[in-house]
Amino acid sequence: MRAFLAGGVSFTTNWNFVWGAMNDPVYSQIIGQGGVAPIPAARSTGKDAASVSGFLGLGVLANSAHADLAVAWLRYLTSPQVQAQQAGQLPIWTSLQNSADVRKANPQIDVFLANLANARPRPKLVHYVEASAVLQRHLHDLFLGSVTPTAAMSAAQSELLALQKRFGS
């Protein structure tokens, strides 16, 4: 993201907080020059956009000494009143998503909502780091032009199947 905010790369795939960073002089050298677009989906899906859910959940341990207070605190933190104070972020409340204040602070909100509507959970991989490394390595070679798309994906598939067999997941 730093390279993007410095103007060194043309795009990044990231979460909605980048919109605020793009237009903040503390972080960005591309103020007013950026935009947001949905992440394209494969034609075969029949969808216009694709995304993954990287959301973090909030919870309270069942044996918490003050579970009632912890639940009350979480309800407060996720309340419309608190989320309204963060107008530049994507609120969970539909009423806030459609509010004039949030839309003014976040003019790209419809793109974020389209991505959210098309978000799917990340794959449940116990060995995500290893699988991600395989894909990164082969995609890197593909982007450098040192291998064809077919060769890159075939090699990645072979390694991923070997990982699956090795780890049983």
Model pLDDT for residues 26-71, shown as the tens digit of each residue: 999 999 998 888 888 888 988 888 888 877 788 999 999 999 999 9
Confirm whether 16 is domain-assigned: no
Radius of gyration from C-alpha coordinates of the chain: 20
Q: How much is the average pLDDT of 120-147?
A: 91
Tokens standing for residue 119: 């978000």
115, part of any domain: no
Least confident of 21-25, 119-123, 159-163, 164-168: 119-123
Q: How far is it, in rounded angstroms, from Cα 19 to Cα 107?
A: 9
The verdict on residue 60 lying in a domain is yes
The continuous run of DSSP H or E covering 38 comes out as none
151 belongs to a structural domain: yes
Q: Is residue 76 part of a domain?
A: yes
150 domain-assigned: yes
Percent of the chain topping pLDDT 70? 99
Domain that holds residue 147: 128-167
pLDDT of amino acid 105 = 84
Q: What is the mean pLDDT of residues 128-147?
A: 95
Q: Is residue 69 part of a domain?
A: yes
* Tens of pLDDT, residues 98-124: 999 889 888 889 988 888 888 888 777
Mean pLDDT of the chain: 90
Residue 3 lies inside a defined structural domain of this protein: no
pLDDT value of residue 119? 86
Distance CA 36, CA 84 (A): 22
Q: Residue 91: pLDDT above 70?
A: yes
d(CA 135, CA 132): 5
Q: How many domains does the chain have?
A: 2
Determine the average pLDDT of the residues in 68-92: 91
